[in-house]
Structure 1
């Protein structure tokens, strides 16, 4: 099969984008899977009480992006199939705070550019037995158009006693679960429903800077809520408005759970709430 010069140059760029410290890490690594626009691999970390800290690394070619668990107005979130794993009870995927990008058609998509490392929390069935993490990954990478991609990755568990620094750094980028108004940093302060508009909308008040971004997810993937619109900041608070569009036709609004992710520079928090009544 002929490989274009552009594909070779992108592959070289992907290899160069992997930090040297990460390449030299003592943690076991899966064999990387190279796509013309993305490189993926698994990283195995240490185990404690039958739980292994691991990670899925994705390095994207310059100008390309991939998606968060909720892709926004367009895009495809990654899909994970762990069924080929051995001695693994379950895997929880953690998501570093994402970025919002124009999707090229007037909307916005949510995801990552450059390099992202998704932390994985792997619970073993029997910690005394050998284990292997196996992943069949389906995802999309996009520039002006989206291209489907897939990878099959596996790595033995657990890793070495010392965790790769990149895994520690990636977990620090995951939004922190934060109750309403807690702490002194970014926080959601209030969620109100304005029933006097068509469609009804939510007004969300947060303690954050004027550049903060709010992302809202419904209770399941049948909901496709828009990205809330940020209003001008007033001191240390910012208000966001969210039209309740993209809601399943048979859904009763009050009481349905929403997940709110507030990203404010290097800080990010996550709060759950229920849609208030009219």
Structure 2
């Protein structure tokens, strides 16, 4: 009986003894948080190294955080008691969570985090683990513990080695790694001889900056990642050049921990960079030529053809000189645009096709020019030069050739708010290419646009086939004047938005447009929804053509109001870093830009510059995927 009493007392004492006598804490829970369980184990390896393994189990839907949590959350931390003075954590590869516009990095379900202590053969290890767990709400929970390390436990050694196997290696994945920073964007370039499948990046954030979700693209052996940088609120991030960037790159089960010094900006090549140069130049020629058919340029071209009838005796030599002057005006204008783009690139400013129409002074100047042309065509005034000036112009190469030169310049300026097929691809490649290639592409654009003018300069007899002068010329002059006046009034409507917030929702549209953002795309795709993206601008005539001919149609409107369709619109009327970056990531340099996402198009399907009803509806249907 006494023996039984002693055995019972001994068992009770074992149960009463603190956890410091056990090699593990057992699974710990808190009354304040029943969604997480933690366990700490310790062991002294045969080499005398003190190792700790932190095991975390989470209920479905709950997550905890990596060493660099991101925009929200707190990394697990242990407040060690004596004698622990230094602990080295080894973090397994995390996952990325994007919720409500916030991107975080962490773990879900279960994770084991290895820790090595500097102390040799401690008698006990104690402390308080503080763990942040989140779902719809976030909980910060303390777990006090005391454990006594075991000695060369085989089970522990297996579990510790398995956990270390999930920790990124210092090498073995990338062959070369670079990072550059410019204009609130961090660009990472990584090359791998074996190529890339599904690469992921996880970055350690500096204290004074916040990183958004990386946008990645693979070009053969090269991975490009662009990461938005902010100050954590609404402002731009700090200049990161010269700082060290710590990051993890993972792909297909292999991960590497790296550190690289952030240099000047890296230029992410556009998707069309794989095209041979001759094909890009051909696109530029076609795109420039098609600009002549857009409503932006037709008034000037019509006025130019009408001026042929005013040439005395229909002198072919005079006609050739006039059209050559306009041809030179167009080429000079495109070279001036190339110079402007070069300066903007060298000064690290945003570039794009038609961005000058985001400037209120440029719009005001164009309104004035168009009003003057319109008034002249209406016959409200005539510009009469002195006989001396007229004689000088005549002796220096034709009557008023400078006016024809400026007609070519005006035609080019009026063409910039228009986007045409092939034009967007050529301009996007030009803005991301080397400067010599940029100038070559803009020269090809100028030649393409001036082809009709050059054709008449080479064959003046083509222009002479117009009907003989008569009363119809007065009507043509009035029609051109009305077109010029209409252009001036349209340009004037672009001015108010520069001085106040003006809603530009078309009254005939019943689509619930939402603001465009990468997070909105990610959220909709996570819900298996389809997306229709429309990036537009008030000054973009092609955008208005698309809206009138396609988007405003009843059947298209009905399709965009479906319960599983999310419509996102980005307005580029005024400068916007977010939309500029959105376009650049997709190899675009101007608007309109339309794209469709969905289960059938998880990576997005860009639509043609000029939309068609069937193209939009068929793409929306295909975006459903296999239901």
Into which bin does the TM-score normalised by the smaller protein fall? 0.7 to 0.9
Shift of residue 206, structure 1, vs aligned partner? 4.0
C-alpha deviations, 1:94-150, integer Å up to 9, x for none? 1001011222x12322111111110010121x54xx422212111211112212222
Mapped partners of 2:155, 2:82: distance in 1 = 21
Quick check: 1:131 aligned with 2:116?
Answer: no
**1:245 to 1:212, Cα distance in 2 relative to 1, 3 A:** same
Matches within 5 A, 1:93-104: 93-103=89-99
| Mapped partners of 2:208, 2:116: distance in 1 | 26
Task: State whether structure 2 residue 105 is matched by structure 1 residue 110.
Answer: yes
Q: Equivalent residue of 1:74, what SS?
A: coil
Cα RMSD for the two superposed structures = 2.6
Name the structure 1 match of 2:215.
229
Q: 1:154-177, CA deviations, whole angstroms, 9 ceiling, x for partnerless residues?
A: 211244342522211100100111
More helix per residue: 1 or 2?
2
What SS does structure 1 have at the residue aligned with 2:118?
strand
Shift of 1:28: 2.1
Unaligned runs of 5+ in 1: 1-26
Residues in 2 aligned to 1:74 and 1:226: alpha-carbon distance in whole angstroms: 12
Higher relative contact order (CA 8 A, sep 6+): 1
Summarize deviations over 1:4-29 as a string: whole Å, max 9, x none. Answer: xxxxxxxxxxxxxxxxxxxxxxx921
> 39-48 or 245-254, which moves further after superposition?
245-254
Q: What is the CA–CA distance in structure 1 between the aligned matches of 2:243 and 2:256, rounded to whole Å?
A: 20
Tell me which of 176, 187, 200 is aligned to 1:202.
187
Take 2:23 and 2:181, find their aligned partners in 1: how far apart are those partners?
52
| Structure 2 CA distance for aligned equivalents of residues 201 and 108 of structure 1 | 16
- Equivalent pairs counted in the alignment come to 236
Structure 2 CA distance for aligned equivalents of residues 211 and 30 of structure 1: 38
Q: What SS does structure 2 have at the residue aligned with 1:37?
A: strand
For residue 142 of structure 2, give the secondary structure of its aligned residue in structure 1: strand
Structure 1: distance between partners of 2:92 and 2:179:
27
Residue 277 of structure 1, CA deviation: 3.8
Distance in 1 between residues matched to 2:215 and 2:72, nearest whole Å: 17
**TM-score, normalisation: structure 2:** 0.35
1:152-208 Cα offsets, whole Å, 9 max, x none, are 122112443425222111001001112xxxx4xx2262324253xx32432423435
C-alpha displacement of 1:79: 2.3
Asked whether the equivalents of residues 204 and 241 of structure 1 are also in contact (C-alpha less than 8 Å), the reply is no
| Contiguous gaps of at least 5 residues in structure 2 | 1-21, 266-627
Q: Greater Rg, structure 1 or structure 2?
A: 2
2: CA distance between counterparts of 1:265 and 1:172?
14
Decide whether aligned partners of structure 1 residues 96 and 200 sit closer, same or farther in structure 2, where only a CA change above 3 A counts. closer
The answer to whether the aligner puts 1:268 opposite 2:260 as a matched pair is no
Query: How far apart, CA to CA, are the structure 1 residues paired with 2:66 and 2:174?
Result: 21
